[in-house]
Amino acid sequence: MSRILVFQHVAAEPLGTLDPLIRARGHRIRFVNFERNPDAQPDIDAYKGLIVLGGPMNVEDQAQRPHLRTELAAIDRMLELNRPVLGICLGAQLLAHALGAPVKRQHTPEIGWYPVYATEAGRNDAVLSPLGESASIFQWHGCHFEVPETATHLARSDTCEQQAFRWGDNAYGFQFHLEMNQPLIERWLANPAYCAALAELAGTQDEARIRADTQRHIAGMQAQADGVFNNFLDLVGRPQRRFTLPSREWV
């Protein structure tokens, strides 16, 4: 059974709706939870793909969080092996940084629902095309990546030009959170650390608005997310043989 490696930074930011899609393919998911095991050193060569999730820390925190250096080295190795990589939010920033692009503070954090517009390349991209010309997508970030010089810019928003990129044929960085569902959004709204970030946007964004926007947009985003994530998983492929139900592994 083939395995996909997943880097998780905090319990509040799991795979979300991507998890059952991976399981349906028959892949074994190997989680490295750096909050629980910051000294983990996974054997990158053993995996067919890498997914790097989000988290409240930033690329600039490498001195305080050495595991970020471990992750950057793992991303470099996956790119060298030409195996699929997907970075989400912090994961996208780490991917961009590994490719030589800076990560900067967002002038105004994006928290909540925002329209995201595909570039021409994004509308025709093998993975991102299910978003169409535009889509309402959930966001929660105070930093953003610059698109690496060697990458293709795939999507933008009104308040953050750098929303998605592709490097080569199978490495993707998404600033936004396509993996969200309603229970996960509620989990973030109940998290004191996340609420503190939201409070900084008082007057322009709040829990009530996010909940109302979630009711309007969540079903549409999840349908588009399934298309995008399944396209990415097509790059990973399917296990050649499947004897048992897919399972999780933790380190």
The catalytic site residues sit at: 89, 177, 179
Cβ atoms < 10 Å from Cβ of 163:
29
- Residue 240's identity, in one-letter code, is Q
Compute CA distances 229 → 22, 38, 139, 148, whole Å.
9, 27, 17, 22
